[in-house]
Amino acid sequence: MPSKTEQFLSLLDGQPVIPVLKIDRVADAVPLARALARGGLPAIEITLRTADALEAIRRVAAEVEEAIVGAGTILNARQFSEAEAAGSKFIVSPGVTRELIAAAANSKTPLLPGAITPGEIMMAREAGLDFLKFFPAEQAGGASFLKALASPFAGIRFCPTGGVTTRNARDYLALPNVVCVGGSWVAPDELVRPGDWAAIEQLAREAADLLKA
């Protein structure tokens, strides 16, 4: 039986960028997910930072067959359960806590917990978690910090998120301990508000090709 890390990586299927989305209008969720999937980024993270986030996850899970929707900014076990019930295929948290580790242990849904300090990384590793979110990436030391973690934490892989843009994404993706990056630049507010799904699809296509360049 594949581990939860292997399960998560199979969901990503080599996708280099996970769009990190804040849904202000629930009606945007389905066309946005479709545009991102058409552009080559089917795995998306809808953050629980707005009142409509869970409903957005429900709609994408039910209506966008080509999308792989996950929930982000999960802070406790209750939110983990709510996001899972809404249809989330993976769970992302900004940090790692014993409560979230326990919730993940009792669930088939993989957890991508945030960890930036050696202590947090060791805590996650002790719990059997070896694919971690590095957040906030740029503020915590960026690609050079992550590069320094590769040797003492061999086998631990990361998804840097926070301050990652088209300007620095390749710096992260070039590191041996980085699987993918998370970013909001593929769905900026100035394109989501007017519903410019074609422009978002093009940004997604460019992001999906980052590893090919």
- With cut-offs at 50, 70 and 90, classify the pLDDT of residue 62: very high
Cβ pair 162, 139 in contact under 8 A: yes
Query: Does residue 124 surpass a pLDDT of 70?
Result: yes
Position 211 scores a pLDDT of: 76
Q: Tell me which residues are annotated as active site.
A: 45, 133
Nearest to 90 by CA among 105, 73, 112, 58: 112
pLDDT tens readout for residues 105-119: 999 999 999 999 999
- Give Rg (Cα) of the chain: 16
Position 135 scores a pLDDT of: 97
Query: Does residue 64 surpass a pLDDT of 80?
Result: yes
Average pLDDT over residues 85-94: 98
Query: Does residue 147 surpass a pLDDT of 60?
Result: yes
Cβ pair 163, 138 in contact under 8 A: yes
pLDDT tens readout for residues 154-211: 999 999 999 999 999 999 999 999 999 999 999 999 999 999 999 999 999 999 999 7
Domain boundaries, the chain: 4-207
Alpha-carbon gap, residue 176 to 26, rounded angstroms: 37
Average pLDDT over residues 102-131: 96
Position 1 scores a pLDDT of: 62
Query: Does residue 94 surpass a pLDDT of 70?
Result: yes
Position 4 scores a pLDDT of: 87
CATH class of 4-207: alpha beta
Alpha-carbon distance values, 65 to 7, 43, 68, 193 (Å): 18, 11, 8, 24
Query: Does residue 212 surpass a pLDDT of 80?
Result: no
pLDDT tens readout for residues 5-49: 899 999 999 999 999 999 999 999 999 999 999 999 999 999 999
Position 122 scores a pLDDT of: 97
Annotate 183-199 with DSSP letters as a single string: ESTTS-HHHHTTT-HHH
